[in-house]
């Protein structure tokens, strides 16, 4: 991964798992990235808006509106935007195949780099057995993950007061719990098999909030990560190189103090 911000002009940018409408969405960080980075094409690789949370009572801050408006402005200025809905914004899958100006809604896509390599782009929940066959378990897991993310905020408020850097409990647990590690490995293998069956050079996906850029049995596997914990995206340079860009979250959003955030959540519940 690279944390450098020197090169801000790209051919293509891939973003997934923003989860606008939740307390965990790092919308200010994403807005900062979108203001600095320019591309000819943007792929929104699912779970941009969290309709699961919206139905329960959203936390929708001004920065969430700002992200949507920034993307729309890029579209109006001529950028191509391809929206591939995920499981949290699956309601938009009813519109797959339709274009809204320069915004295209697609179930998945074939992407060709400037170097001529072919990649399949999809959210990836299609290959998550829990999401497909045990939806109630997916919702339960979503609530547990949300709780871990909520814990990050007061924990890092304290760490900030102590002069310590950002640390994610949810990311730590995801990297330590054996079942989570095994799931990530199986997911990556399943997605790589999809690319191999379609004779593609690689696959670009999201869904598991785990950014990656590696070769799996000859297939280039890329995962966008998320804008909940890691603030990562996949970027393509004008020469056709694909890589993970880590924007970095050095501190929590300054939009609300822990007290203000709790108040807004109570009002939305």
* In-domain check, residue 253: yes
204: which strand partners? Answer: 121, 222
* In-domain check, residue 60: yes
* In-domain check, residue 2: no
Q: Are the beta carbons of 234 and 44 closer than 8 angstroms?
A: no
CA–CA dist 9, 154 (Å, integer): 36
Q: Which domain holds residue 193?
A: 9-268
For residue 239, count CB atoms less than 10 angstroms from its CB and return exposed for 0-12, middle for 13-18, buried for 19 or more: exposed
Distances (CA, A) of 258 to 40, 170, 211: 38, 18, 28
**CATH code (residue 74):** 3.60.21.10
- pLDDT at residue 208 greater than cutoff 90: no
CA–CA dist 220, 203 (Å, integer): 6
pLDDT score at 158: 73
* In-domain check, residue 1: no
pLDDT score at 147: 57
- Percent of the chain residues past pLDDT 70, beyond the cut: 71
pLDDT score at 254: 33
What is the number of domains present in the chain? 1
- Percent of the chain residues past pLDDT 90, beyond the cut: 55
């Amino acid at each position: 991964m690279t944390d450098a911000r020197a090169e801000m002009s790209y051919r293509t940018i891939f973003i997934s798992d923003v989860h606008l409408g939740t307390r965990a969405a790092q919308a200010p960080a994403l807005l900062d990235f979108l203001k600095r980075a320019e591309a000819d094409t943007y792929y929104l690789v699912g779970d941009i808006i969290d309709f699961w949370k919206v139905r329960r009572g959203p936390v929708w801050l001004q920065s969430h509106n700002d992200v949507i408006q920034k993307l729309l402005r890029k579209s109006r200025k001529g950028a191509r935007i391809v929206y591939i809905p995920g499981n949290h914004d699956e309601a938009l899958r009813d519109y797959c195949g339709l274009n809204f100006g320069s915004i295209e809604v697609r179930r998945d896509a074939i992407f060709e780099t400037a170097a001529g390599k072919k990649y399949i782009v999809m959210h990836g929940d299609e290959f998550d057995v829990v999401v497909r066959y045990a939806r109630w378990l997916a919702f339960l897991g979503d609530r547990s993950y949300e709780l871990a993310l909520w814990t990050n905020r007061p924990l890092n408020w304290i760490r900030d007061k102590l002069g310590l850097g950002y640390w994610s409990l949810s990311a730590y647990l995801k990297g330590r719990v054996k079942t989570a590690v095994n799931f990530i490995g199986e997911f990556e293998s399943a997605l790589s098999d999809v690319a191999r069956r379609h004779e593609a050079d690689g696959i670009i996906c999201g869904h598991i909030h785990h950014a990656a850029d590696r070769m799996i049995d000859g297939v280039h596997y890329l995962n966008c990560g998320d804008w909940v914990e890691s603030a990562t995206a996949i970027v393509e340079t004008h020469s056709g190189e694909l890589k993970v860009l880590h924007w970095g979250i050095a501190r929590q959003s300054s939009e609300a103090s822990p007290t203000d955030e709790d108040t807004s959540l109570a009002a939305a519940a």
